[in-house]
Amino acid sequence: MTTTMERTSAAPARTLRSTEQIPTSRIIGVELQKMFDTRSGFWLLVGGAIVSVIATIITAFADPHLSYGAFAAAIGAPLSIILPMTGILAVTSEWSQRTGLTTFTMVPHRGRVIAAKLAATMLVGLASIAIAFSVGALGNVIGSAVTGHHTVWDISIGNALTIFLADGLGMLMGFMLGVLIRSSSGAIVAYFVYALVLPAAFGALAAFQAWFRHAQGWVDFHDASTRLYDSGMGGSDWAHLAVAGLIWLVIPLAIGLFTLSRSEVK
């Protein structure tokens, strides 16, 4: 029989020692690291870079009217799919891979973790778009030199900014779905429904129903944010974007954050 009756404590009781709150910058750094250190995250981002280079090369040789706009469009298309996926996975992997058990124990403030993920996602998004613009610019210069065309710069600074915004909103949309659904497959399917199925449905509805044709601008967020790619957003376009964004992005995100903060991490 083991006798542990009165363990005359050899050592005094150890007490808590942490005094400093984990700085937000560190949490963002950790979240950035997480986006790159898995194979899926790494290849998603590297794949994005490769695809944008390929798109640039194809554009340089296949498009008879070389312009910066053509390059930007060719690179922007794959990026507009990849960035939302990055946003989704940044959130959902904590649930799908169950790493949330560790993450939310080391930082027991879900709001802080999610905010850090948002910051990390946006940083990656901004960097990706900036790289895409640069690759496009390089392609435009080299492509026009090789083919003997004039180098055409047909994207204004203003338009470049709205393209940034459009890609950023797409990424936020993915992020929102990740927060709301908290499952990788579910959120990815939801994103494609939003990006591919809904526009067609809205288009069909608008074609046959006059009342919806007038309302569409206010409720179709995909349509409203797609207009950001074109130059010349009017005042009503911005109003549409704001209202549709409230419905499709802000409200669901608020609901997602609320349920996420109270949910159980298993």
> Measured at the alpha carbon of residue 238, what is the angle toward residues 234 and 243, in degrees to the nearest 5?
145
Strand, helix or coil at 114?
A: helix
Distance CA 65, CA 227 (A): 22
User: In angstroms, what is the minimal distance from the CB of 99 to another protein?
Assistant: 5
Count of positions on this chain that bind another protein (CB under 8 A): 47
Residue 174 Cα distances to 90, 100, 147, 179, angstroms: 10, 19, 39, 9
Q: Which stretch binds another protein (CB under 8 A): 141-149, 179-187, 227-235, 258-266?
A: 258-266
Give Cα separations from 249 to 79, 173, 199 (angstroms).
Answer: 20, 6, 16
Nearer to another protein, 22 or 219 (CB): 22
CB environment 83-92: b (16+ within 10 A), e (fewer): bbbbbbbbbb
Binding test (CB under 8 A) with another protein, winner from 46, 58, 106, 242:
106
Binders of another protein among residues 130 to 189 (CB under 8 A) are none
At 56, list the tokens: 């640039």
Q: Shortest gap between Cβ of 165 and another protein (angstroms)? A: 32
Q: Which of 107, 141, 160, 219 binds another protein (CB under 8 A)?
A: 107
Provide the residue type at 266 as one letter.
Answer: K
Complex with another protein: residue 108 or 234, whichever CB lies closer: 108
Considering beta carbons, is residue 116 or 228 the nearer one to another protein?
A: 116
Annotate each residue in 3-22 with x if it binds another protein (CB under 8 A) or - if it does not, as one string.
Answer: xxx-x-xxxxxxxxxxxxxx
In the chain, which ranges are E strands?
none
Cα–Cα separations (whole angstroms), residue 194 to 92, 201, 203, 230, 262 = 18, 10, 13, 20, 26
Tokens of 208: 């046959």
Pick the stretch among 33-41, 48-56, 166-174, 179-187 that binds another protein (CB under 8 A): 33-41
Chain-centre distance of CA 33, in angstroms? 16
The one-letter amino acid code at 188 reads: I
DSSP code of residue 264: P
| Binding-residue pattern over the window 35 to 64 for another protein, x denoting contact by CB under 8 A | --xxxx------------------------
Q: Which of 25, 97, 156, 209 binds another protein (CB under 8 A)?
A: 97
Of 24, 26, 147, 161, the one binding another protein by CB under 8 A? 26
Binder among 56, 80, 86, 93 for another protein (CB under 8 A): 93
Footprint on this chain of another protein (rule: CB under 8 A)? 1-5, 7, 9-22, 26-27, 29-30, 33-34, 37-40, 93, 97-102, 104-109, 262, 264-266
